[in-house]
Amino acid sequence: MFTRTESFREFIRFYPVVSIIIAIHLVLYLLTVLPFFPNYWFFETLSGVNLYIMEGEYWRLITPTFMHSGFAHVLFNSFSLVLFGPALERILGRGRFLVVYLLSGLIANVATLLLEPLSFTHVGSSGAIFGLFGYYIAIIMFRKHWLSRQNSQIILTLCVISLIMTFLQPNINITAHLFGLLGGFLLGAIPYFNKKDLADSLKSTTNWVSSRRKGAAAQSPMKVLIWAVIIIIAIIGFLAQK
């Protein structure tokens, strides 16, 4: 579920929302580092600055979710989205996944505005990614049949590790992590589907999981090992970023 067996083209076709978000990450990062652009303008205009938000620049409640402070920051956050976003996009559908991602990021940024000082400045998609973790937890609690026991254990373990590391690592927006997680959980607790929608969604998800398992079974042990290493590195890097 959290290892990728698709080709690059298949990934874009299967998970367009995740692909577009990552593309936005990379484009905005390049615009902040390329010398022939007024790179300072993008960072200063789109980053989250509580004082400027209070003065009416409300777009800063959304745009920091797509901005990053350096190459390692954008790399590891994007890797985390590649690892944990596709399954949820497939389960929820493109529109609902995008709503969950953006609302989780918004909730994290609003909480940062309300609880951090006016001088506080922040960038990064970690609040929205924690929202995905929160949604997974809601699935585990309220819709256990959507995930296998093994995948549920992986998610819960990662959430516990992520929360612990949130308080141990320096330069972490603790407020965004906690409220992104809470926001995603609350969104996941909402009964989105009626019985027919739920049955259709479960059937579609079951077929998809079955096809992915067949694809994964065809992978060589070396490729599985490589993906395991990538997941571990991405998690460590993600938790080390602001």
Amino acid identity for residue 82 in this structure: V
| Joined tokens for residue 58 | 């409300």
Confidence of residue 159 (pLDDT cuts 50, 70, 90): confident
The yes-or-no answer on residue 177 being catalytic is yes
- Residue 35: left (phi > 0), alpha (psi -120 to 50), or beta? alpha
Q: Is residue 83 pLDDT above 60, yes or no? A: yes
Residue 200 confidence (pLDDT): 52
Residue of 47, 69, 126, 162 marked active site? 126
pLDDT value at residue 216? 47
What is residue 185's predicted lDDT score, i.e. its pLDDT?
94
Calculate what percentage of the chain has a pLDDT beyond 90: 50
pLDDT for residue 242: 47
Q: What pLDDT, on the 0 to 100 scale, is given for residue 168?
A: 82
The pLDDT assigned to 206 comes to 53
73 among known catalytic residues: no
pTM for the complete prediction? 0.79
Q: Is the pLDDT of residue 84 over 70?
A: yes
| Burial classification of residue 216, based on how many CB atoms lie within 10 Å of its CB (0-12 exposed, 13-18 middle, 19 or more buried) | middle
For 189-219, the pLDDT digits (tens) are 886 444 454 455 455 555 545 555 555 444 4
CB-based contact 82:141 (threshold 8 Å): no
Strands 48-49 and 121-122: antiparallel
Instruction: Please give the helix or strand (H or E) that residue 121 lies within, else none.
Output: strand 121-122
Looking at the predicted structure, is the pLDDT value of residue 18 above 80? yes
pLDDT for 42 equals 85
What backbone torsions phi and psi does residue 122 show, to the nearest 5 degrees?
-150, 150
Mean pLDDT of the chain: 82
pLDDT tens digits, 27-62: 999 888 887 666 678 888 999 999 999 999 999 999
The residue type found at 97 is F
Is the Cβ–Cβ distance between 80 and 231 less than 8 Å?
no
Closest CA to 75 of 136, 108, 30: 30
**What is Dmax (Cα atoms) for the chain?**
56
Among candidate residues 69, 177, 201, 204, the one labeled active-site is 177
Report the SS3 class of residue 48. strand
Q: Is residue 187 over pLDDT 80? A: yes
pLDDT (tens digit, 9 = 90+) per residue, 99-148? 999 999 999 999 999 999 999 999 999 999 999 999 999 999 888 788 88
Higher pLDDT, 146 or 19: 19
- Phi, psi angles (nearest 5°) of residue 26: -70, -40
All domains of the chain in start order, with CATH: 8-239 (1.20.1540.10)
